[in-house]
Chain A
């Protein structure tokens, strides 16, 4: 069997005084694929990326990136990959062009070659005009674009993007997506992308791996994963809060309960969207007045929910709260 561009077997990362950040990850990404690594904050996405990019040695398990072992062939792995990590990792006192100069020098490019490569990349990410301004004055979108350009300096075959659009406005996000799609389609670059945004995984990824608490809970194409869940969910909010329990009882006849608004109830319709009419009739016959009724097509959040019992957004809030608690204890 030919080797994938990225392969991991039983990857584990433990930190002192804490649970395992990564708890046995197996994955395989084929060359030229865009792989989306989806999960809430604290799920272990960045730790996994740090291990695959040789920045952190695994506690156990193994991984090969670009045909090289991440532990024993670090320099060879680094030569094959580019990475735009979670922090934009830029020096606010240097200009965009100075960053490119530094990066090209680090990769051993000589004067003329370095200059040409810098100019070409700066143009590609639309930063030619701003190239001689200090990065401290760049917008978030501009910083991310420079970050991407720097990651591409040495023409890597494999690109790691760790939450590349977090904190960006919609316009910048769309622009970055377009560039990622171009990279994959035109140049056959393998892209390993981590994100907490469902839409991003949906739009960009050929295949998605969903991670929660250090483990992969689901893997496949977005369509296949959603089809596995298959059925839509209906969410209802009663007009009178006292009727909530009765409404829940009625809805429970139509399928299993899923998380939703605290003011209402949601169930996954066992019989598909055809059952919606039955739901309405049942609620009406019990004289339960409804303030709001919505039908949701399955999303990756539903996939996450089905596998973990928590919603991706809810899991994000939980992780933030845990982090805040840990900080308070440490302080």
Chain B
């Protein structure tokens, strides 16, 4: 297999992944709209929380914008998982398996669709945030870092979705992980900074939850400025989740596509 044709395979699969993702408005639109609706409701409904002593900013929108990126990634997970499950259920994966396709090309191709959706989400959330008054303490450079970081989270969550689909082979299992993601998002520093969480058990869960650090990484870029520790923790968590999920998904693909 020459590098030339591997690239061609990845290119063709990536193109397919992007096209079929963007041709499903019923998946794309809610993945952008819901986080924004929730942002709107939360930032207005919880504005008074900014009056708490120790709250890092006087705009709840500024605080809550970070949540949209993680929620967007959640939708990426569901979309990636559902797409992979469809391919398995309708036999498309078998069709691909009968070609000289390399598994790595299939993985990379699938990820392209996630990156496409994730990019649209990230840019939209940033623009909406700016339009409604959010500030970026780190300026344009920080905004770009947020986009890259958001893509990393989308990739990680997307791989979790793909892994689930490859292990279970059906769409119901993918739907079944939604509550788990939901729980992971809520049991974090989603609504209040960790040091303002009163209940010990909740704070402990949030301390151990990688999603807390992902949110705090984005918030630091918007509110605090360049904070090395927050960035390191955030990227470590997002990178760690992505790496583990990628390896798991690749392994599940090997089992699913059991051709000789």
Binding site for B on A (CB under 8 A): 53-57, 70-72, 74-75, 78-79, 81-83, 85-91, 93-94, 98, 101-103, 105-108, 134, 150
Contact = CB atoms under 8 A, between A and B. Distances in A.
B92 interface: yes
Given A93-B19, A102-B12, A75 B100 contact: yes
A54 B16 CA distance: 25
Contacts, number: 80
The residue among B13, B92, B99 with the most chain A CB atoms within 10 A of its own CB is B99
6 contacts: A54-B98, A54-B260, A87-B90, A89-B92, A98-B16, A108-B5
Contacts of A74: 259-260
A278 B231 CA distance: 96
B99 A93 contact: no
B90 A89 contact: yes
Given A93-B19, A98-B16, A103 B260 contact: no
Nearest to B10: A105
Nearest to A75: B100
Contacts of A102: 12-13, 16
Contacts of B8: 105, 108
A89 B96 CA distance: 9
Interface in B89-136: 90-92, 94-101
Interface size class of B (residues with CB under 8 A): 20 to 34
Given A93-B19, A101-B12, 12 more contacts: A54-B260, A55-B258, A56-B258, A70-B260, A74-B260, A87-B90, A87-B94, A89-B94, A98-B19, A106-B100, A108-B8, A150-B95
Chain A binding surface, main DSSP class: loop
A105 B11 contact: yes
Interface string B150-170: 000000000000000000000
B260 A71 contact: yes
Given A74-B260, A105-B8, A91 B100 contact: no
Interface of B: 5, 8-9, 11-13, 16, 19-20, 23-24, 86-87, 90-92, 94-101, 258-260
B99 A89 contact: no
B108 to A, nearest CB: 14
B100 A107 contact: yes
B256 to A, nearest CB: 11
A74 B102 CA distance: 13
Contacts of A55: 94, 97-98, 258-259
A102 B258 CA distance: 21
A86 B89 CA distance: 12
B90 A88 contact: yes
A204 B16 CA distance: 36
Contacts of B86: 91
Given A74-B260, A93-B20, A85 B91 contact: yes
Nearest to B96: A106
A53 B24 CA distance: 32
Contacts of B19: 93-94, 98
Nearest to A136: B23
B89 to A, nearest CB: 8
Nearest to B20: A93
A85 B94 contact: yes
Contacts of B90: 87-91
Contacts of B260: 54, 57, 70-72, 74
A43 to B, nearest CB: 19
The 6 nearest A-B residue pairs measured at CB: A87-B91, A89-B91, A105-B12, A106-B99, A74-B260, A93-B20
Nearest to B13: A102
Contact of B95 (A57, A79, A89, A101): A89
Nearest to A109: B8
Contacts of B87: 91
Contacts of A98: 16, 19
B260 to A, nearest CB: 4
Q: Which of A70, A81, A93, A106 has the most CB of B within 10 A?
A: A106
Contact of A83 (B9, B11, B98, B100): B98
A164 B8 CA distance: 30
A134 B24 CA distance: 12
A108 B11 contact: no
B12 A106 contact: yes
Contacts of A57: 258, 260
B92 A107 contact: no
A90 B98 contact: no
